[in-house]
């Protein structure tokens, strides 16, 4: 897949961010920028703070220090320009909604309080469903969907907002191969269209293949750069908090 040039304009800029959860410092001195046309893979072990960082960008967590800017604006002012794809288990799939209605919930920041959805909202939903190849299932109850179909709904729900920044939390976990290929192709097209994407994932080879940059996170940023520049084994071992792991290094094609 060709990788378009990113611009120098940060869509997302995180400066010296610190976040505490339950009295514990979950993130400390995190600095990160994501620009238009970039897909940044956020890599780290469980408990490294990856999802915490996404939630801070969404304004769901209040930092103890640092700043988060979206197109140069505060999180509160720019929240409507951020699309979020949570992990599948975080969505209420037993709620009696059709696929179309579930995707429409992604437009809540654009639909005025207690107002009916407008034609522009329905057009955005239709376009998002088409992009994930779910138009033919738009009337199906979400509780009847397969795992891959549910993931497509979550992606469409985020795209319905027409965001400048897309946050993806483990979007490939447990997916069938056709859905993985569809989403990989879609994320590549979004980059070409100038979107900025920040994706957490445990699929390290896939992240190295599709991301323009990798950010290795373990409560703070251990390393950040294009995949081909992160070849030093000690960087990966430090990020994952292990003294040595042949399996980890082999999966990445990194040799000691």
Q: What is the pLDDT of residue 219?
A: 95
Count Cα neighbours of 180 within 13 Å in the Cβ-side half-sphere: 12
175-199 residue pLDDT tens: 999 999 999 999 999 999 999 999 9
Q: Is 138 inside a domain boundary?
A: no
Say what the pLDDT of residue 111 is.
58
Q: Is 25 within 8 Å of 58 (Cβ atoms)?
A: no
- Rounded distance between C-alpha atoms, residue 185 and residue 212, angstroms: 14
The domain in which residue 213 lies consists of: 10-94+163-252
Taking the C-alpha atoms of residue 51 and residue 200, their distance in angstroms, rounded to an integer, is 8
Predicted model pTM:
0.89
Residue 179: other Cβ atoms inside 10 A: 22
Domain annotation covers residue 198: yes
What mean pLDDT is reported for the chain?
Answer: 88
pLDDT of 32:
97
Nearest to 93 by CA among 155, 159, 145, 170: 145
Is 66 contained in some domain?
Answer: yes
pLDDT of residue 40: 97
pLDDT of residue 203: 85
Q: Would you say residue 150 lies in a domain?
A: no
144 part of a folded domain: no
| 222 found inside a domain | yes
pLDDT for 107 equals: 86
Residues of the chain under the 70 pLDDT cut:
1-8, 109-115, 242-256
**Does a structural domain hold residue 181?**
yes
Total structural domains in the chain? 1
Q: What is the CATH number of the domain that holds 64?
A: 3.40.50.300
Question: CA–CA separation, 162 vs 154, rounded Å?
Answer: 14
Inside any domain, residue 37 = yes
């Amino acid at each position: 897949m060709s990788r378009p040039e990113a611009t120098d304009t940060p869509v997302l800029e995180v400066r010296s961010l610190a976040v505490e959860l339950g009295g514990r410092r979950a993130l400390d001195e995190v600095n990160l920028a994501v620009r238009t046309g970039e897909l940044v893979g956020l890599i780290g072990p469980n408990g490294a703070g990856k999802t915490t960082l996404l939630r801070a960008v969404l304004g769901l967590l209040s930092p103890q220090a640092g700043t988060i800017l979206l197109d140069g604006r505060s999180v509160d002012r720019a929240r409507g320009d951020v699309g979020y794809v949570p992990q599948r288990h975080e969505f209420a799939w037993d709620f009696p909604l059709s696929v179309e209605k579930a995707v429409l919930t992604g437009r809540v920041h654009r639909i005025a309080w207690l107002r009916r959805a407008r034609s522009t909202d329905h057009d955005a939903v239709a376009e998002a469903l088409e992009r994930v190849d779910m138009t033919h299932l738009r009337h199906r109850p979400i509780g009847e969907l397969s795992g891959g179909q549910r993931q497509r709904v979550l992606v469409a729900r985020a795209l319905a907002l027409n965001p400048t920044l897309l946050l993806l939390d483990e979007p490939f976990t447990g997916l069938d191969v056709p859905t993985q290929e569809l989403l990989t192709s879609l994320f590549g097209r979004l980059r070409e269209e100038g979107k900025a994407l920040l994706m957490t994932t445990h699929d390290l080879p896939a992240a190295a293949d599709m991301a323009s940059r990798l950010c290795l996170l373990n409560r703070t940023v251990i390393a950040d750069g294009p995949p081909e520049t992160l070849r030093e084994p000690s960087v990966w071992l430090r990020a994952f908090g292990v003294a040595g792991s042949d399996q980890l290094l082999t999966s990445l094609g990194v040799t000691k």
